[in-house]
Amino acid sequence: MGAILTQAAAWINVEQAIFNLKVAKALTPAALLELPLNRLADLIRPSGYYNAKAVKLRAFAERLHSRYGGDLGRLFALDTAALRRELLSIHGIGPETADSIILYAAKRPTFVIDAYTRRILSRLGLAPETDSYHAFQALFIQNLPLDEGPYNEYHALLVRHGKEVCHRVPRCSGCCLRELCPY
């Protein structure tokens, strides 16, 4: 749920939405399917774009129920390529959300490319020639061992650096990459 709720939202707001779902006992796919869509939207309001996200959460829960009996384990039993294709075929799930689910929930090695990663790589002069999700992802996959642990940690470190230092208007004076960064 967090991967969908965090689309265009700060994590602190997603945490509030998840808390609301928990209090309403609506943290399971089955519970999501039972909630009226307007009630679901109200519960996730803190995450922003709540009406659209309610539809996305419902689409995910419906797919999980119809094809996998509501069992995430059955969904995650697919090989990684098939899991990614399945996730991408669900309304509202794009590459970043699919890869977040694969890395953080299914615990499989795939690198998540987000705005922070793009910004940091671009400023370091490491951005690929092609400005595409796949091209950015290939930089990591081709240069790091295929291992969920480091991918998880590296992505988390990039997010932290992007949030704390490498903002849209960067704080270069406190940057640990300052000597390497041509920006």
pLDDT in tens, 67-106: 999 999 999 999 999 999 999 999 999 999 999 999 999 9
Low-confidence ranges of the chain (pLDDT < 50): none
Prediction pTM value = 0.93
Please state, in angstroms and as integers, the Cα–Cα distance from residue 134 to each residue in 84, 127, 128, 130, 142, following that order.
13, 12, 10, 9, 12
Please determine, looking at this structure, whether the domain spanning 2-105 carries the CATH number 1.10.3720.10. Answer: no
Where along the chain do its domains lie?
A: 2-105, 115-180
Please give the pLDDT value at position 174.
87
Task: Give the pLDDT score at 156.
Answer: 95
- Residue ranges of the alpha helices (H) in 24-147? 29-34, 37-43, 50-68, 72-76, 80-88, 95-100, 115-123, 133-143
What's the CA gap between 109 and 104, in Å, rounded? 9
At which residue do the structure tokens 């709720």 appear?
Answer: 5
